[in-house]
Amino acid sequence: MSRVSHRKVAADEAGLRLDRWFRLHYPALPHARLQKLLRKGEVRVNGKRVKAAQRLNAGDEVRIPPLPDDMAAQTAKAPPLPKEEALAFLRPLILHEDDHLLVLNKPAGLPVQGGSKTRQHLDRHLRAAGGGNWRLAHRLDRDTSGALVVARTRAAAAKLGKLFASRAVRKVYWALVHGVPKPPQGKVDMALIKAMTRDGERVRAAHDGETDAQPAITHYNVVDRAAAVAAWVSLKPVTGRQHQLRAHMALIGHPIMGDGKYGGLEELPDGVAARLMLHARRVGFIHPVSGQRIDVTAPLPPHMEEAFRFFGFDPSRFDDGIA
């Protein structure tokens, strides 16, 4: 068991939510355990009780309570990348670029942040390329590909954070799911709660009265179908919970193909790769500095292009509105 300790928030960590700061530094600490520590007041920031969504400032002091040895292990930081190496990696991913922000097409399988055993991640490249100033405005799961917004300055990061928090950013995801949802257009309004399983952390439908439940709403639309076997769906999340789209589709009986956490690997058709078929297709928002409308579309990753061809779906014939 570790002892009580105190850690200062680094300048390049300003703006991070407290729970994401813990995930970065203590990846073995389950979210449910962190929530319990917060409720009991054992985790504090500058001596005060806080919630998981608290945004941190540079220089804030975080109280770390005693933790079991297996949860107290901190992230081993990889050596910094040379700036040119990081830029060479990022350049092919850029879909939009200006003085204040980037929109990248994140590859499937690339984590956005590091963990106890993860040294190759997008944030490492951003920090090296931007001299510590470039930072993620939001997150995508490791196996989800597509449009990801990055701030190039601290001022832009703060303004983008407010846009995402106020739900002023419109996002469209494409997915291939098992079966065909009925009705073909609908809304999933189902609160979610994080839970630990033998397969690691995931989310499930919350029961009435569970205090850690988070409201979650997703709109879906069936774009095309392959008999009763599969459907191409457009997903528009209103909220942005961890694994929200994956959990919601599974909870209505149509898990996303290739999703091992939520039943998407069962009865996977031959010829379809055993990889997550979820892509952040489009993102739209008002530029936080210029006031211009930003609307960026991310091309499909190769494994989803192959799956679209297998089912006879034509991605060029459909244009999602994000207004």
Residue 102 CB-density burial (10 A; 0-12 exposed, 13-18 middle, 19+ buried): buried
Q: Which residue has the tokens 């205090």?
A: 211
Question: How much is the pTM?
Answer: 0.80
Q: Token pair of 248, please?
A: 């919601």
**Domains of the chain: residue spans and CATH:** 5-72 (3.10.290.10), 83-165 (3.30.2350.10), 170-314 (3.30.2350.10)
| Measured distance CA(263)–CA(181) in Å, rounded | 16
Name the nearest CA neighbour of 228 among 284, 269, 196, 277.
Answer: 269
At 191-215, the pLDDT tens digits run 999 887 776 778 999 998 888 899 9
Q: Which H/E stretch holds residue 72?
A: helix 69-72
* Band (115; pLDDT cuts 50, 70, 90): low
At 40-52, the pLDDT tens digits run 999 999 999 999 8
Q: Is the pLDDT of residue 229 over 80?
A: yes
Q: What's the gap between Cα 97 and its chain centre?
A: 21
Q: Token pair of 276, please?
A: 């997550």
Which range has the worst mean pLDDT, 76-80, 121-125, 220-224?
76-80
Q: Please name the residues in contact with 39: beta carbons below 8 A apart, sequence gap of 6 or more.
A: none
Told to judge if 141 belongs to the known catalytic residues of this protein, a careful annotator would answer yes
Which one of 60, 123, 141, 143 is the catalytic residue?
A: 141
So what's the pLDDT on residue 212?
84
